[in-house]
Structure formats: C-alpha cells, structure tokens
Amino acid sequence: MAQKCTVCSHESIKEINKALINGVAIRKISEQFGLTPSSIHRHRVSHLPETLVKAKEAKEVCESGELWTEMVSLKTTCIEILDKAKEMGEFQAAVSAIGQAIKIVVVMLKVQGELKKDQHVNISLLPEFLEFKEICFDVLSDYPDAKAALIDKLKNTQ
C-alpha cells in the first residue's frame, strides 16, 4: 500500500512548500508544523517539484532565480540520500535517489521553459547534469551493479 504523504495532506501545505522553496531548514519546518524531518525530506524530493510546476507562482519563482536555487538544493538532498544509501549498502535506494534527482532536473528545466513540451532536449549535455552525473558515478564507482543500473536509468531519460 502506498504511504500517504503527511506533508501533502497537512493543512498548511502551501506554507510548508513556500518555506522549503525559501530554503528554511527542514528541522525548523518540522518543529513549526509538527511533522517529522524525514517526511519533509521525502516530500521535498518526491512531491515539491510537481507542486511547483502546478503552482501559479511558478513563473515568479522562476524569474527570481529561486527555482534554480531550489533545484540545486533538491539535488543536494539526493546526493545526501545517495551517500547514506551507499553507507548502508542500499544500492536500490541509491539508484532510486539518482532517478529522483534526474526527474527533478527535468521538471525544473520544464518550469524554466527551457524544455518546450514536445521538444526533445538531451539533458545529458547540460553542464549541471554532467556535473551531477560525475558525482553519481563517483559515489557508485566501487559498485558496478549499481553503476550499470544508473547507466540504464540514464538511457531511459534521454
């Protein structure tokens, strides 16, 4: 059964998303809204990008450059998850964190209007993405299976 997101169903979801976009510390948000830091982490990685696409303020956020900051911060979160997953030997989780990060990059670029709806852009050529890919490969360098899974995932993204 899919786990329900306690953040998405929270009555102050809009404020929480705004706080996340503005870079308020997760610990602070969790205290303020009575949510666990892990649920906020999960929400930020899995749900916030889609929320942003739908948000009316998306254009504003975009223009102010906050979206880019948010993207970088989400990417950082994914890398943190990746490191943790590596520590714990959870490579399925690592690969899935990478998948999320790729999704985030694509969504953010869509919001920024850099990817037109039907236009096929090879995100693997973007500097931001290349840098991120290097980090991923580095983290997974000792684990050929996970690396192979990542390469496979990347193929599907392009």
Q: Taking CB under 5 A as the criterion, which residues in 50-89 touch Zn ion? A: none
12 CB neighbour count, 10 Å cutoff: 15
As a whole number of angstroms, the distance between CA 1 and CA 16 comes to 25
As a whole number of angstroms, the distance between CA 16 and CA 40 comes to 9
As a whole number of angstroms, the distance between CA 119 and CA 90 comes to 35
> Which residue, 7 or 94, is less far from Zn ion as judged by CB?
7
Taking CB under 5 A as the criterion, the residue among 10, 18, 41, 47 binding Zn ion is 47
> Which residue, 43 or 147, is less far from Zn ion as judged by CB?
43
Does 44 interact with Zn ion (rule: CB under 5 A)? Answer: no
Place of tokens 């000792």: 142
Taking CB under 5 A as the criterion, the residue among 19, 21, 40, 43 binding Zn ion is 43
> Which residue, 4 or 120, is less far from Zn ion as judged by CB?
4
Provide the binding-site residues for Zn ion, judged by CB under 5 A.
5, 7-8, 43, 47
